A and B are shown apart, each in its own frame.
Chain A
């Protein structure tokens, strides 16, 4: 589809807007979209969409081209489909294509390790992980309190306990 504004370039930005209570769709090329002030439309979703696609396509597609296409066992998505749409097909896709998705995930978020709320129904290995992290956080809090109370001997003990915990984690990996 050609850009509705200039009629010359391929439309890469598709915008649904509500104008005066009605839904309107526009299809624009990147230049016209920027010119008309739509360049920040996607910023609310965490990034410029073309960057995401660029990231996916640039890094991933050449490596995937030769040989048989790998597909997700649950939903049948191939990595190429995911890269093209920017949408992942199901939870299992993240396992199947984890290594190939990771560079894009890092580019989007800058980080690749979740921190925050942990789901209740996590597979068996996770609760252990959770208790360890919790344990460390608890030790940290106790140590902070000990330092604040100027109970330095106690704080040193807690620090050693935390180091021991960290060393455990290192071995596990």
Chain B
């Protein structure tokens, strides 16, 4: 079955994916920080039976303790779980739909972290699915809710709608023009956050950024989504304009062709080098310079991450073998 992230969605030249995450807790149970493994398993069993009672998503139930470290990290690399959750063992579980577009972390920071992913920019579509699943669960378990401060969460930063909406953007031209710091500052004044989608810190890998809403209390889901969407569309327009400007320089165009050349011929590719080159190639495809399907690029960006690569290809064991396997797959794909 094809995974959601392989498709190319709306604004697909720049927007890779959309994610909606809802945090929910059971009213009668202490929050995960106050639960031992036994208590967490009790909560997980309750939620599990509520989800599976009317399962239309072909869900599977995974206990984190049954996964190898590599499998767990691979789930985090694909943004299906949080990095913190990848380190958890006893008492933490994951419900995952077959196409991996819906994932429900059980006993992460909250009892329920329901997440829906869509290709391209589709905040309304993703929220619609999350909302329906949430209402379905709400009819079967008692959620902790307070009419004054909304859904009750373990961390007060998520109170209110407890919804985090985020969009992953590929912004190579704006990055190259040195505009990202300025844009991140502007966006933060509007109640949104921009950060690197892969690798925290100042230099995001592959020029991939995640932009998300920050405030959850006192703002409806619809308004938060509309705000985020309007900012994303403005960023998309700015990136396109910056890319058009950048392409006027023959040296920049040259970099794109060279990147494709290296990816097509290299025998060893480290993760960092791959991300740097694939970002250039993606820009070339977005500008119509290169005739490579965008879906293939998106798939490579997800699947060539270290742990995911090792899980999918048994020969990619250890850093050196992994770099060789990565180069081989990239060569064959491009």
The residues of A with any CB-CB pair to B shorter than 8 Å are 15-18, 20-23, 36-38, 40-41, 43-47, 52, 74-77, 85-91, 94-95, 101, 104-105, 108-122, 125-126, 129-130
Which of chain A's residues have a CB closer than 8 A to the CB of B30? 74-75, 89-90
Question: Shortest beta-carbon distance, B118 to chain A, in Å?
Answer: 19
Chain B positions 118-159 with a Cβ under 8 Å from a chain A Cβ: 131, 134-135, 138-139, 142-159
Question: Shortest beta-carbon distance, A30 to chain B, in Å?
Answer: 15
Are A118's CB and B271's CB within 8 A? Answer: no
Are B218's CB and A110's CB within 8 A? Answer: yes
Are A94's CB and B200's CB within 8 A? Answer: no
With known contacts A16-B83, A45-B155, A74-B30, A117–B221 Cβ distance under 8 A: yes
Task: Decide if the interface of chain B is mainly helix, strand, loop or mixed.
Answer: mixed
CB < 8 Å: which of A22, A43, A87, A104 contacts B195? Answer: A43
The residues of B with any CB-CB pair to A shorter than 8 Å are 25, 27, 29-31, 33-34, 69-70, 73-74, 76-77, 83-84, 86-87, 109, 131, 134-135, 138-139, 142-161, 163-164, 184, 188, 193, 195, 199-203, 210, 212, 214-222, 271, 305-307, 309-310, 319, 322
Q: Tell me the nearest residue of chain A to B158, going by C-beta.
A: A46
Are B154's CB and A88's CB within 8 A? Answer: yes
Question: Shortest beta-carbon distance, A18 to chain B, in Å?
Answer: 5
Which of chain B's residues have a CB closer than 8 A to the CB of A86? 155-156
Q: How far is it, in angstroms, between the C-alpha of A107 and the C-alpha of B156 when the chains are bound?
A: 11
Q: Tell me the nearest residue of chain A to B131, going by C-beta.
A: A117
Q: Tell me the nearest residue of chain B to A15, going by C-beta.
A: B200
Which of chain B's residues have a CB closer than 8 A to the CB of A36? 201
Which of chain A's residues have a CB closer than 8 A to the CB of B143? 119-121
Which of chain A's residues have a CB closer than 8 A to the CB of B86? 18, 23
Q: How far is it, in angstroms, between the C-alpha of A21 and the C-alpha of B198 when the chains are bound?
A: 12
What are 11 of the A-B contact pairs (CB < 8 Å)?
A23-B87, A37-B200, A40-B184, A86-B155, A111-B215, A112-B148, A114-B217, A116-B160, A117-B131, A121-B142, A129-B147
